Amino acid sequence: MRRRFHRLRRASVMLLLLALVSLPFVRIHGESAFRFDISTLRLLFFGTSIWMADFFIILIAVIFLTFLTLFATTLFGRIWCGWLCPQTVLVDATMFVEIIRLNKGNAKIIASWIAGILVSAVVTSGLIGYFVSPYDIPQVLRNGGMHAQILIVSFAVLVALIVLDVIVLRRGFCATVCPYAKMQGVLFDDRTLVVAFDAERADECMNCGACVKVCPVNVDIRKGPHMACIHCAECVDACTERTAARGRTSLVSYTFGIAAHRGTGVRINVLLTGVLTVISLVFLVYLAASRMPFDVNVLLNYTEAPIAGEGSMTRSYMLSLRNMAATDLVLDLNVAAPFGEVRVFPDRITLPKNVFVSKTPILITVAKPSVPTQDPITATLTVRSSQLNKSVIRTIYVMMPKNN
């Protein structure tokens, strides 16, 4: 297939750009599929709400992504830069801006800036949607106030930065600003995947310069690997077209190391980072799966006086509830003690979704203990969600009236 890598990259660019801009508009259970909600300080992640109290999961996720980055970079080099990086995606998707900018004439220069501003405004709208729901933005602007001012200022600043990136920096961002590009020089070794010119077949090169002409960062791959190369494989396509006409294979290709050190890419550092990546992923999945979607704390309600009866005691308690699930929860309450009759009222509570703290009073009555006692009776309160098949157990103490 002619220009195989070029076509694949164009398809990936369009899909990634579409996902980047449209993801904030996707809803699951009435909430954004992926968004950090600033007002409630929670991360919405594809139907799951991760509150600040559970941000240790985010820490493990960061550790997993760190190991994954080390593994992918050591093995596959700058594949991320050429195929998946948002900067590359944005620059590739705005090639028309560069074409307009390179033409002479005031009208075309003005058109370049207008096109850049429009693209930047669309991308900024998508980026803001990762922090404020796009469906809430019109209401925020209508209400005015500080929230609207912050939203407007944030939008203007982001548009200005993206315009600067799209029109001025472009590929220069990778060589001057990007910290990941600097880190790659430390992680590369002689068997990292690179786009390389086969020096052993240098006598077959026609010196047509096609590989240089199509390079987006102006690298001459025939002179050896270069730090600015983003492994986009445009030079591979260009060389393939020229050499195919002569019935030969391309002189430029993806390879694990340059000609003198070619291999499979498998080595100790790759295996080590790969194992650590898998371990951290398994741990992350375990934490996410075992995370309790609701939490309960029980405190004695000192504002309500105890009610003493004939051999019984009723005390008021305050339940502090957190619903971290994406749906409303129906919680069943059950209380048990080693001796005596124990009742709780109410025995069922409906907890709305995304409620960080909900205070609910309950009454617990201990009556007719089978063993006389003046010590506090230890009871166990079980709060269960049948729909999630999960329970939280808390210990409470009830002081019985003194025997005469």
| pLDDT reported for residue 404 | 44
| pLDDT reported for residue 238 | 92
Contact between 77 and 190 under an 8 Å Cβ cutoff? The reply is no
Helix (H) or strand (E) holding 321: strand 312-323
Residue pointed to by tokens 């005469």: 404
pLDDT tens for the chain, 404 residues: list them. Answer: 478 888 888 888 888 888 888 888 898 877 888 898 887 778 888 877 787 777 788 889 999 999 998 898 888 888 888 888 888 888 887 877 776 666 666 777 788 788 888 888 988 988 999 998 888 888 988 888 888 899 999 999 999 999 888 888 888 787 777 888 777 777 787 788 888 898 888 888 888 889 999 988 888 988 887 777 888 899 999 999 988 888 888 999 888 876 544 556 567 888 899 999 999 999 998 988 888 888 888 888 888 888 877 767 788 899 888 887 778 889 999 998 877 788 889 989 888 876 667 888 988 888 766 555 556 778 889 999 888 888 889 988 877 655 54
65 is written with which tokens? Answer: 């992504």
The letter for the amino acid at 264 is: T
In 77-144, where does DSSP find H-type helix? Answer: 79, 86-93, 95-102, 106-128, 137-143
The yes/no answer on whether domain 294-399 falls in CATH 1.10.150.120 is no
Euclidean distance between CA atoms 254 and 248, whole angstroms:
16
**134-141 contacts at long range (C-beta below 8 A, 24 or more positions apart):** 134/24, 134/25
271 is written with which tokens? Answer: 């295996």
| pLDDT reported for residue 154 | 92
Residue from 263, 250, 262, 255 nearest 201 by CA: 250
Q: Kindly report the CA angle at 348 between 286 and 50, in degrees rounded to 5?
A: 30
Euclidean distance between CA atoms 159 and 141, whole angstroms:
18
CA quadruple 111, 112, 114, 119: dihedral positive or negative? positive
Residue pointed to by tokens 């203007």: 156
Residue from 216, 210, 209, 199 nearest 241 by CA: 210
Contact between 219 and 231 under an 8 Å Cβ cutoff? The reply is no
Residue from 160, 158, 14 nearest 93 by CA: 14
**Domain range annotation of the chain:** 4-54+78-185, 194-223+230-257, 294-399
| pLDDT reported for residue 260 | 47
Judge if pTM exceeds 0.75.
Answer: no
| pLDDT reported for residue 265 | 59
Euclidean distance between CA atoms 12 and 26, whole angstroms:
20
Euclidean distance between CA atoms 126 and 139, whole angstroms:
17
The letter for the amino acid at 150 is: I
